[in-house]
Amino acid sequence: MFGFRFFGWEQFLRQHRPAARQARHHRAHRDPGDLGDLGVGQFLEVAQDDGLAERLRNCLNRRANAGNLILALLLGLGLSASTGLNTFLPLLLLSASARFGIAGITLGEKFEWLTSDVAIIVLIVACVLELVADKVPALDHFLDAVGTFVRPIAGTVAAASVLTGVDPTVAAIIGLIIGAPTSFGFHTLKAGTRVASSAATFGCANPVISLIEDILSLMLSVISIFVPVLVPIVLVLLAFALWKLVKRLRTTTPATASTP
């Protein structure tokens, strides 16, 4: 059983020290040990007479809500970044996770339509079309041009939909602030990689790069859903890797062009 020191309860106890002392005095014959060393169940039993347990529950609820909000923001951040690489795959994974209760994912009330049969079917078709078309020369550049407008919208939806318990308008604003620029930023890196690859390899490497982007989008979405606390680290590493790839391809282009 976890003690109070593990959860940082000593700060709470210092704020309510008089009530804690009185509760310990009332039940000292049952729990003579230091109150700070009691388990959760024992502490609640000792403090029940003075209402300290209720205040503790309220404190725990506030901390839990704050923790859930942070995890939701990290989840939305990771999914919106993933939409910058592939528009529909992250939304499809999010929709399926919420539909089947995977990793405890739930969506806001105004975004429950994402879990409907029609939405899932549309996302599956759109995902397959994007995966195939992005491997075709010329079509990939067309998708990047369209993605400049579509992917920030997808990122906004992904970030806003996971903010449960928040006013829908506030959720939409937060989603727009977090999701749109994140998705657009990774889309810009993706488009820059594709342009540099076309110039350096005459487009021959584009299908391979597209496949790598799909795998990265899938991995980032899975990490965001199951381990959202790792999202900031993964995003930094991914952005750095894409930037280095663009830089390397651009430095390769002059040498390729000067080759007789």
pLDDT in tens, 237-250: 988 888 877 777 67
Quickly tell me which residue has 């704020």 as its tokens: 15
Asked whether residue 255 carries a pLDDT value surpassing 50, the answer given is: no
| pLDDT tens digit sequence for 87-130 | 999 999 999 999 998 988 989 888 999 999 999 999 999 999 99
Q: How far apart, in whole angstroms, are the C-alpha atoms of residue 49 and residue 31?
A: 14
pLDDT at 32: 46
pTM of the model: 0.72
Binned at pLDDT 50, 70 and 90, residue 253 comes out as: low
CA distances from 230 to 74, 137, 149, 222 (A): 9, 35, 28, 11
Q: What's the distance, Cα to Cα, between the start and end of the chain in Å?
A: 73
CA neighbor of 88 nearest in space, from 221, 254, 259, 246: 221
Sequence-ordered alpha helix ranges (H) in the chain: 9-15, 17-26, 40-47, 52-83, 89-100, 117-133, 139-161, 168-201, 206-226, 231-258
Asked whether residue 1 carries a pLDDT value surpassing 50, the answer given is: no
Half-sphere exposure of 18 (CA within 13 A, CB side): 0
Dihedral, 158, 162, 168, 173 alpha carbons, nearest 10: -50
